[in-house]
Copies of this chain bind each other. A is one copy, B any other.
Amino acid sequence: MKSTFGTNFKLTLFGESHGPAVGFVLDGLPAGIRLDLDRIRRELTKRRPAGRISTQRQEADEFTFLSGFYDGHTTGTPLTLVIENKAQHSQDYEAMKYLPRPSHADFTAFAKYGGYQDARGGGHFSGRVTAGLVAAGAVFEQILSEHGIAVGTHVLQCMDARDRGFDCARLKEDIAALDSPDFPVLDEGAGRAMRALIEQAQAEGDSLGAILETAIDGLPAGIGEPFFHSVESELSALLFSIPALKGVQFGLGFGFASLPGSQANDAPVGLADGRLRTRTNHNGGLGGGITNGMPVVFSTVIKPTPSIYKEQDTLDLRTGAPQKLRIHGRHDPAIFHRARSVVDAVTAIGLCDLMMGRYGYLWARKEEPCATD
């Protein structure tokens, strides 16, 4: 279905930017998973706009469970989480209903829903809806961390500013360093350069995009399925559901077009705990769509925020006549540093789907104490 994901669970994301709430319903988790609500809050904080380089729409993102959560743990029945919308300024958008913002979903939503969409603030296409995605991801990240699996994402490149890549020799530390609401880079200097670029773009009424790099530590070998549910298939379907994300590559990715097989192949050099160790990791921990035990590494690209303050050309959908457009309202000059929390979230969602497909859904509850024991 449209906004529903999952083979081994069903996750439905709901909500509109200016409706009463955003959130999710998640059907398929086992009973008895203890949920750390602070962990969910922390992930939501990473996503939330903050400081000078973000939109001024500030929401506390307080959430409540409507169902499936009792006495600190999941009950085994559908888990419903709701985040109320509080800071809507709908009047900002109403005037532009027939003036689509360039490269935004305004026109395509119009074409798809024939004018019946809730267009206020981008409706279901708003980045606001990703708050539900991040909250869902935080549930799955807890499950993964019980099994020693961690996910981290940093900004690898923005314009000519470039962070260092993950250091596989100390991957755990690199990932841990990214678990903060700070600007997500591994090298502070690169972060300062990127923030300066964003501030400059903001001053010019412009916006910027970036390449993000993600690493997953701790996956066993043998996860993923051939063909349609390969690790790459599962993760990319989720990653491309992030608004503004336009590319996904695993390991060397597009670099594979410039390297002969003899250099591109990763030679096996060790085997421990069922995991292969390879001399290089050009394949990003994957063979035939299945994990080999090396870290899974991929990168993605987030395009520049389409909502910019500079005057732009558009047309009036009623008449087809050209129009000049100046966007008001509250907009980020860059969202990629916030988007990394969504990348982490969907990665966790996809990995748990694959792990539950491999080991059964009961895997999601690390400990299985039973009241009758």
Contact = CB atoms under 8 A, between A and B. Distances in A.
Given A20-B66, A289-B241, A77 B308 contact: no
A93 interface: no
Contacts of A65: 20
22 contacts: A3-B77, A5-B227, A32-B114, A74-B116, A75-B113, A78-B124, A100-B268, A100-B276, A102-B266, A102-B267, A104-B288, A108-B287, A114-B370, A125-B288, A232-B245, A246-B250, A247-B253, A249-B301, A265-B304, A265-B312, A317-B372, A357-B361
Nearest to A371: B115
B313 A267 contact: yes
A188 to B, nearest CB: 20
Contacts of A4: 10, 27, 78, 228
A221 interface: yes
A117 B236 contact: no
B1 A256 contact: no
A265 B102 contact: yes
A306 B67 CA distance: 25
A364 B244 CA distance: 31
Nearest to A291: B108
A27 B1 contact: yes
A5 B265 contact: no
Contacts of A145: none
A11 to B, nearest CB: 8
Q: Which 5 A-B pairs have the closest CB atoms?
A: A360-B360, A115-B371, A105-B288, A247-B249, A261-B304
Interface string A228-270: 1110111011111101011111111110111111101111111
Contact of A109 (B157, B205, B288): B288
Contacts of A305: 261
A328 interface: no
A318 B372 contact: yes
Interface stretch (A164-172, A173-181, A208-216): A208-216
Contacts of A246: 232, 249-254, 256, 283-284
B372 A274 contact: yes
Contact of A25 (B14, B71, B310): B14
B10 A10 contact: yes
A16 B75 contact: yes
Contact of A110 (B16, B113, B201, B371): B371
A218 interface: no
Interface string A124-159: 110001000100000000000000000000000111
Contacts of A115: 370-372
Nearest to A285: B108
